[in-house]
Amino acid sequence: MNAKLVLENGMEFYGKRFGSSQNKICEIVFNTSMVGYQEILSDQSYNEQFVVMSYPLIGNYGLADEDYESKIPSIGGFIVREINHYPSNFRYTKTLSEVMEEHDIPGLSEIDTRKLVRVIREHGSMTSMITDIETSLEDALDKIRNYKYPTNQLEQVTTKRVWHSKTANYKYNVVAIDCGIKHNIIRKLNEKGCNVTVVPYGTTTKELLTYDPDGIFISNGPGNPTDAHKAIRNVQDLQNQIPIFGICLGHQIIALANGLRTYKLKFGHRGGNHPVMNLENKKVEITSQNHSYSVIDEDIEQSNLKVTHINLLDNTIEGFRSKNNKLLSVQYHPESAPGPHDSDYLFDIFISNMNNERGEQDA
């Protein structure tokens, strides 16, 4: 079935539908990864976003039951050059189109994604619409102009109940605030000897403490970080008491809790090959990233935070630690680093911070 993509600047791209046939309006962004479309599909940080895949062939290895980052994908839609409906992979259980149809996620193929990515780079992320080919440009643009972005995305993607992920011979209890958490983060914490209690976004500080945590983890998630008022308050209440580790949105929440400000990037960072320098040892890591916002560095000197990592493409802040070593955060995703365990050390630092806190309490 033919359909089209309409951008808020009036440009139209014609293609063919796959997945759901619904018409939808979302912010459009792009991802430069060559693989990992299942993880992108099920990453809640893409809630209500159309993702343009710059790699031209998507769907060729299908989807495997063990590789989801969340149980219910909430991505706005996929836009690709070529979609493969007949995967070749002994592990796959469903095609990309089948899963998208099940979850009512629209897709467009046969789009000139090379041109589309260049448009987004030049004009920035923008509001867009996937619609029937018969929809007039004027009608589509009117709907786009009147669209209001949601401010309750964290409530949409968070778990509705507390759940536990335990490991044998555990050493630490970690409470993870679910802002759209990726399951691979939980698996990584389990590998490091942590029992993980996943709690809904909006859990109060008092409720967090009832789980007797050795550390608090703040997850990735969608939307504007300034909307995360409840998690910001959690950090302000606990940052001098308990070790806290934040990834992606969690990094931004920690910054806001310490008086810093955030801003929206022109087209964000989304891909699997972003170079980041660790300022403490001068090593460069190749990182996986997915975010629209970054932290302004103007007030760093007056805060409790020290910059530990920077992005070598645009010098944006990629990591913090606090001067009392109870806070740790990175903007990228160490649990899905392209290199061979390049970023495992960040989880080890979190473990060390929890161990040191135990030592202080015992003393």
Q: Annotated catalytic sites, by residue?
A: 248, 333, 335
Residue 191 is inside which H or E element, if any?
helix 183-191
Percentages helix, strand, coil for the chain, rounded to the nearest 5? Answer: 30, 35, 40
What's the CA angle centered on 48, arms 46 and 54, to 5 degrees? 55
Pairs from 98-104 (Cβ < 8 Å, separation ≥ 24):
99/19, 99/41, 99/63, 99/73, 100/18, 100/19, 100/20, 100/41, 100/73, 101/19, 101/20, 103/20, 103/72, 103/73, 104/20, 104/22
Q: What strands, in cross-sheet order, belong to the sheet with 194-200? A: 163-165, 194-200, 172-178, 215-218, 244-247, 327-330, 317-322, 305-311, 262-278, 283-295
By the 8 A CB rule, do 266 and 348 touch?
A: no
Amino acid at 86: Y
Q: 36 Cβ partners below 8 Å, 6+ apart?
A: 272, 288, 336
State the Cα–Cα distance between residues 88 and 347, nearest whole angstrom.
35
Q: How far apart are the first and last CA of the chain?
A: 69
Radius of gyration for the alpha carbons in the chain, expressed in angstroms and rounded: 21
DSSP 211: T
